[in-house]
Amino acid sequence: MTAHRAVVLLSGGLDSAVILRLCRSEGFTAHALTIDYGQRHRQELDAARRLAKAMQIEQHIVLGVDLTQWGGSALTGNQAVPTGRDPSDMGEDIPVTYVPGRNTIFLSLAMAWAETLGSGDVFIGAHVLDYSGYPDCRPEYFGAFEQMANLATKAGVERVSRFSIHTPLIGMTKAQIVRTGVRLHVPFELTSSCYQPAPDMAACGVCDSCILRQRAFREAGVEDPIRYLSPTQRL
């Protein structure tokens, strides 16, 4: 297999921007994959394009997979996005923003592209706050997927190389991710984290993602460069 190539799942959000920079800092040539799954916060697709261009990524593919055909999530259907929640309440159950099968679909597509590139490396920006609420963000899930990838691919069966699912943010808090991004000069102003942004990409400030992002920047002692319609002071 060709050394030092990797596929990075790039959503356009804060975490994926940091993971993209981390991938390159580890000596990989990054090939970014963004999935247009019909998400209501479609501004993140534009953010992903801006990030890929600004970071001079080797190749960036935006691939359409329409998950709105069956919905099942506030991000792909008509359910309301939760707003104004306290961060302490966000990890108690699986939120309505969970998209059934999303990470399994995304990782499968990333795995397939990586194999065609002659690579065994896939990067994804899951972290501790994600796996407290999302079942497909747990460390054991990524370990199981990695095992499956080595059973399901030509490269794995022929033992040309071992597939690795890289999750370097998995044990970090959101504030630690922000600090890591600052150290790596991530252009946070180009990212979009909001679940219901305005047409001009201003963040709502009150959805779960906005609340956690604002708290992370405050805890990191860093100014968040994006604009919020309703900034929250929730800690």
Domains and CATH numbers, the chain: 5-186 (3.40.50.620)
Cα 223 from Cα 50, distance rounded (Å): 20
Q: Is 115 exposed, middle or buried (0-12, 13-18, 19+ CB in 10 A)?
A: buried
The confidence score (pLDDT) of residue 160 equals 66
Interatomic CA distance for residues 208 and 77, integer angstroms: 17
Cα–Cα distance measured from residue 201 to residue 148, given in angstroms and rounded to the nearest whole number? 38
Give Cα separations from 217 to 58, 146, 184 (angstroms). 29, 32, 15
In angstroms, the Cα distances linking 58 to 8, 14, 97, 114 are 11, 20, 31, 14
pLDDT confidence band for 235 (50 / 70 / 90)? very low
Determine what percent of the chain is predicted with pLDDT higher than 70. 94
Maximum distance among all Cα pairs of the chain, rounded to whole angstroms: 54
| Alpha-carbon 101 to chain mean position | 14
Whole-structure pTM value: 0.93
Helical packing angle, 43-54 and 14-25, nearest 10°: 20
Residue 128 tokens read as 């501790």
d(CA 32, CA 69): 25
Q: Are 82 and 210 in contact (CB under 8 A)?
A: no
Please indicate whether residue 135 or residue 113 has the higher confidence score (pLDDT).
113
What mean pLDDT comes out for the span 120-140? 86
